[in-house]
Structure formats: structure tokens, C-alpha cells
Chains A and B, each alone.
Chain A
Amino acid sequence: MKYALYLGCAIPIKYPGFEAATRLVCERLGIELVDDLPFSCCPPPTGLKMVHYDSWLALAARNLCLAEEAGLDLLTLCSGCVNTLKEANQALKHSDAKRRRVNKILEAHNRKFNGAIEVTHILDVLYQDSVVDKLIKLMAREIPLRVGCHYGCHYFRPPQMMYPNELSEAESYVPVRMDHLLSIIGVEPTEYSRKFLCCGSPLGANVDTEAGYAIVAQKLHYIRQRNIQALSVICPSCFEQFDMGQIALSRKQKDLSKIPTFYLTQLIGLALGFSPKELGLDVHRVKAKRLLESIDVA
């Protein structure tokens, strides 16, 4: 099992701990990562796409071409990156006009979009049967925590674009893979109201930081109602909302208890026996130390 690793911007620059955790987990589970391809920013569905669609499509196409040239499917670690690269891949595969337009731009750099690869996300890669079998065999400890999963909107919306072959009767898609995967490592996945709504990150980043935090405060309200002990995310922007967001919110409301947030491969890494430090948990703003000690992980 081999993929071209697409790191994006936020993970290698802001949260390299997620990258470290992902590399450790993939190596242990036999997922080979090729990562010497000169990718650029994806670019984000919340940024360039909103301002200039043609530039967004052309730059995304360049990233797709690099993976095509290497003959590998593209593995992303972020909900934003997977949204851009999957949607651009679909759009270019299905529209001759768009493909012609983009290839005309790329030909100056000797690149051509052929539509030869697929784009996937680390959650979907880990969810494959062969990987799960290996995880069960190699598991070193259980992680018995009540965890709330937050998928990040761009991982699965719009569903017609992200999971066209798995739509419900109402042509929608309700993600469950993170909950299932975590239940394998002894986690108690816990439902909460507004689970599938936004973390507020794009609104905060583009327009109004306070408004973004107001959205995450609402989510946290429902998360606390269910006595959830920790959160699991698959996107660095969502992570920042929950981790930094709780610090910002607690400045105004001092008595709020804080809930540690994990990136998915950090939780899987703990189950595989890696230490919190190896998985980069030491730099999170909301510390997980006491919670992990309560389940004898140190």
C-alpha cells in the first residue's frame, strides 16, 4: 500500500505533531508514504476558490499532476485539502472544457492533467479492512475514553462530490468511519447534538474571529452535555478551533472545563503503544496529560 503524501500547509507548518503521528502510525501499519513531490498549497476551498475559481482549479490541477506523474494516489491529512483535490479531480475528469483550459495553463510547465489517480484522506485509508486487521493485531493498549468525533464539513460535503457512490436515499452522506475506527481501539464514540455542523474556522479566519469562536462555543456546549472526555478531529483547522478556541473562550468564562482535542492518528498512535511525546501531544494548548494518566497512558 503506497501513497503520495500530500501534507498541505497547516499540518507541516502549524501542527507538525500530526505529521509525526501520521508517519509513525502509517509505518507501523505498513502504509508506505512517498513524500518528495514538490506540492504547493492545495489551495483551500474556503479561500482562493471563493475569490478566483479558475486560479483555484489550475493550482489544484498542478498538485494532482505531480501525483499522476509519480503514478500514485494522493493521500491528504486535512479536510480542506481533500475537498479541494477531490473536487478538482472530479471537475477536471468530467468537464472537457475545464480540462482543456487547465491543461493550456499547465503546458508551459510540461504538465498535463490526465485524470489517472484518486484522492483520499487518511481516515479512509486507515478504515480499509487490511489496515484495520493489522491495527487489531498490533494494538498495544485500549483507549477507554468517551470521545466525540468531529469530521469537518469539507471532508464530506458536498456529498455528491466527496462520496458520490455512497449516497443515502436523500442523496446525503453521514460520516461514521472515525467513530467505527475509534471503537476498535476501545474508545466509546459518543454522539452529541450538532455533531455534523461546522467548527466555525473559515468564518473566523476570513471575516470575524469572535464569530468563529461563538460557533465552536455552541458545539462545546452540546459536547459537555454528553460528558465527552476528549475530541477527535481529522483537520488542522477544526483542531485549532477546538484547541486554541477553548483557551480564548476560557479567558472570558473562567470556570469552563477544557476538553483535550486529538488528531485521529494521535489516538491510533497511543493505541499502537507510542508515547504522547512521540505523537506531538506535548504542544497542544489544552493538555491531555491528566486525562491520559487516568487511563494509565504516560
Chain B
Amino acid sequence: MSQQAPTPRRRMPWARGSVSRRSVLVAGGLGISAGLLGCSAPSIPGFTSDPDEEPKLLTVASEQELIALYSAVIAAIPNLAGALDPIRTQHTQHLSAIAADLAQAPEPAPAPTVPANRAAALNLLRKAERTAARLRTETAVVAEDTEVIELLVRIGASEASHNAYLQKINA
């Protein structure tokens, strides 16, 4: 495909008009608050040295929310610790991998309120994993660096597998 029609390596959404990549991501229903990014971004969007800074920051915020969610569920239902601790650890590994070269250390997300009912809590986690996996795909589509794309896709695959795992332990 790309062999026959020489095109720029990326058709960047923000180059099509006045729409910035941030507004594309946020308008895409990805659910991460622009305010949070605004606070933590160390420099002006579009003028950073890392073209994938925004995809990384979106992912950092999302992983922090997942970690906080797992911690809250484990605190509310200690019986689930054995099953959920390994998954929470994997989200910490996602966070470390994606935040590795960010200028600013990420702030932990606030603890969310979670249901005390086991099935309801697991369903909440499944929904969060599905949302996260979708977000990784959307973010990978706008990322530029090959390693960042592969990392985001692999993290999304991990999160899709978490959803399947939670389905199994909830059965």
C-alpha cells in the first residue's frame, strides 16, 4: 500500500486543520481529562522535543487510575488480593515502561469509590480494562515512534487479557 503511493510517514491529525492532537484524543471520547494533562505537561503541546509526549501522558494517567482502582478493590475485598495483586503489578509495569523517559514523575491517582460486592467490583474492573485497551489502540494510532506504538499495542493486549482473566475468575 504505502509502496505504491508515497505519502508522509504519518498523516498527522493535527496537520489537517487547526485541530490539535490533544483535542483529537479528547474529542475521541477517550475520557482522560485535559486538565490533568495541562497540569503535568512540562512544556507547551506541539513544541515538545518528544512527539509522543501526549500519548505517553494519556497512558500514564490511565494506568494510574487503573492502579488506584485495583488498590481500592483489594482494600474493599481483601479476599481478592491473591487474584488481583498480580494484575495490579502488571499495571505498575505498564506505568514504569511508558513513563520511563518522561521529564516529570507521575502523581498517583486519588482512590476511587468501589462496590463491596465481589461480582460488581470485578465487573467494574473489567469495564475499566476494556476502556483502557480501547484507549491504548486509539493512542497507538496517533503515536509516531515505532517503539512507543509497539509498547502501547502490547500494553493494550495485556489489558484485554486482564479482561478475559477477570471474566474467568468471576465465572
Is chain B a partner of chain A in the same complex? no
